[in-house]
Amino acid sequence: MTNTNNMKDYKLTKMYMLISPSTHLVYIGHTIQRLSQRHYGHKQASNQCSSKEIIAFGDSKIILIENYECETEEEARRREQEIIDGYGEKCVNCHRAYRSDEYTKEYHKEYNKVYGEERKEEIKAYAAKYREENKEVIKAYREENKEALKAYAVKYREEHKDAINQRRRELRTIRKSKQA
């Protein structure tokens, strides 16, 4: 149902679950449609959603979990994600309904860590090639930004003093053990 501005009316949001007597798995979703309409949509051959794991049994049912009055799709997705999280491994939803800024930041941090580790040599080679091909540009940049780079280095060393000193101690220990 839409209002006069053709905006979706999330006051009519329904949180639902697709189930099948043939499996213990469930699919969680939200809709502002009638549940029968939404269930019909899941049954269509064009459905690329993970709900097809439930639909494939041929005996799926849609069950209302709750009516959830909210103002925006983001609020609806946030509530849907809370419900999905509550079902854990039993839930076939393969995409998160909602990603908080904190979750997204943590996800990208972990992804970049794994990506960097897997492609360490490739990244090193690319960086070396870039530096070699752009020596003059890099030199000009450093010359133009000499003061700002110096201020950044001072600030960085001050903020990371303990970690820098710890690393220096570790390197001294390594050198001493190699000399012995």
Confirm whether 127 is domain-assigned. yes
- Residue 27, SS3? strand
Here the CATH number for the domain that contains residue 87 is 3.40.1440
Residue 115: domain span = 99-133
Q: Is 1 among the domain residues?
A: no
CB atoms within 10 A of CB 110: 10
Answer yes or no: do 77 and 38 share one domain: yes
Residues 23 and 68 in one domain: yes
Q: Is residue 2 part of a domain?
A: no
Mean pLDDT of the chain: 92
Residues 18-41 have pLDDT tens digits of: 999 999 999 999 999 999 999 999
pLDDT tens across 132-173, in order?
A: 999 999 999 999 999 999 999 999 999 999 999 999 999 999
pTM: 0.61
| Domain count for the chain | 3
Q: Is 25 within a domain?
A: yes
